[in-house]
Amino acid sequence: MADEVVLLDFWVSPFGQRCRIALAEKGVEYEYSEQRLAGEKSDLLLRSNPVHKKIPVLLHAGRPVCESLIILEYIDETWPESEKKSPRRLLPDDPYARARARFWADYVDKKLFDCQTRLWKLRAGEASHEQAKRDMVEVLETLEAELGEREFFGGEAFGYLDVVLVPFVAWFHAYEKLGGFAMAEICPRLVAWGERCKEKDSVAKTLTDPEKVYEFALYLKDKFGAK
């Protein structure tokens, strides 16, 4: 009980999925607590994240950690060695490589997520939606260039930035539908990287079916999109 780990999450959240993948990579047992998107928030969520009132929240021995990138760092520092065959940290050992990984993680949260939101939120055909499409292509091309010829963002091993970005792979199909472009043409290496990541158990069992993600994006569009 003293070391109990609970994750407050929402099934399709890329931010929550990051935490699930990291916990799986580390072999940490935890209780999954699904939260509501709409309607009243649970007392547990409000108590655990009174500032932002958002998932994901990791509760470790009763103490809450909020914000997915901070949760990943916490997981990496608290359980430095995976229980699996190759014990290792998610973040690289070299300080410069760590800083680069953190820089790109921040980029994903600032730019990719923003473009993703604009793709479903704005009305197709309007100038702002066209701009969102152009911005999304630029973001994807930038990430494609950062990946380069490497197998993973973490180099030969699946690491921190891979964990940060991989939940968005399940959204690629929705990007194509909402943006009217072909991912394989814009960022073929990123698409291939996504497939490689999916060969990992931690990723395969966490990522949402792309069709379901697209349905969810349409639900968001219907409920919260520009009318």
Partner 1 sequence: MGETVKLIGAFASAYGHRAEVALRLKGVQYELILEDLRNKSNLLLNHNPVHKLVPVLLHGGRSLSESLVILEYIDESFHGPPILPTDPYDRAMARFWAQFIDQKFGRFNFWIPFVQMEGNMREEFMKEAKENLGLLEGQLKGKRFFGGDAIGFLDIAACLIAHWLGVFEEVCGVTLASDEEFPALCEWRRSYVNDEAVKPCLPNRDELVAYYRERKEMIKAAGRQHK
Would you call the peptide bond into 50 cis, given omega within 30 degrees of 0 as the criterion? no
Host H or E run for residue 65: strand 63-66
Least distance (Å) from partner 1 to the CB of residue 22?
A: 13
Rounded Cα gap, residues 42 and 70, in angstroms: 22
The verdict on 74 binding partner 1 (CB under 8 A) reads yes
Q: How far is CA 132 from CA 110, 119, 186, in A?
A: 14, 6, 15
**Of residues 12, 24, 65, 174, which one binds partner 1 by CB under 8 A?**
65
**Of residues 117, 142, 144, 196, which one binds partner 1 by CB under 8 A?**
142
The verdict on 70 binding partner 1 (CB under 8 A) reads yes
Of the candidate spans 22-30, 32-40, 68-76, 189-197, the one that interacts with partner 1 by CB under 8 A turns out to be: 68-76
- What is the residue type of 208? T
Q: How many residues does the chain have?
A: 227
**Of residues 12, 23, 57, 71, which one binds partner 1 by CB under 8 A?**
71
The verdict on 143 binding partner 1 (CB under 8 A) reads no
The verdict on 30 binding partner 1 (CB under 8 A) reads no
Of the candidate spans 28-36, 61-69, 120-128, 182-190, the one that interacts with partner 1 by CB under 8 A turns out to be: 61-69
Nearest partner of 171 among 179, 161, 163, judged by Cα: 179
Of the candidate spans 6-14, 93-101, 155-163, 214-222, the one that interacts with partner 1 by CB under 8 A turns out to be: 93-101
Binding residues (CB under 8 A) for partner 1: these are 51, 60, 63, 65-67, 70-71, 73-74, 77-78, 95-96, 98-100, 102-103, 106-107, 142
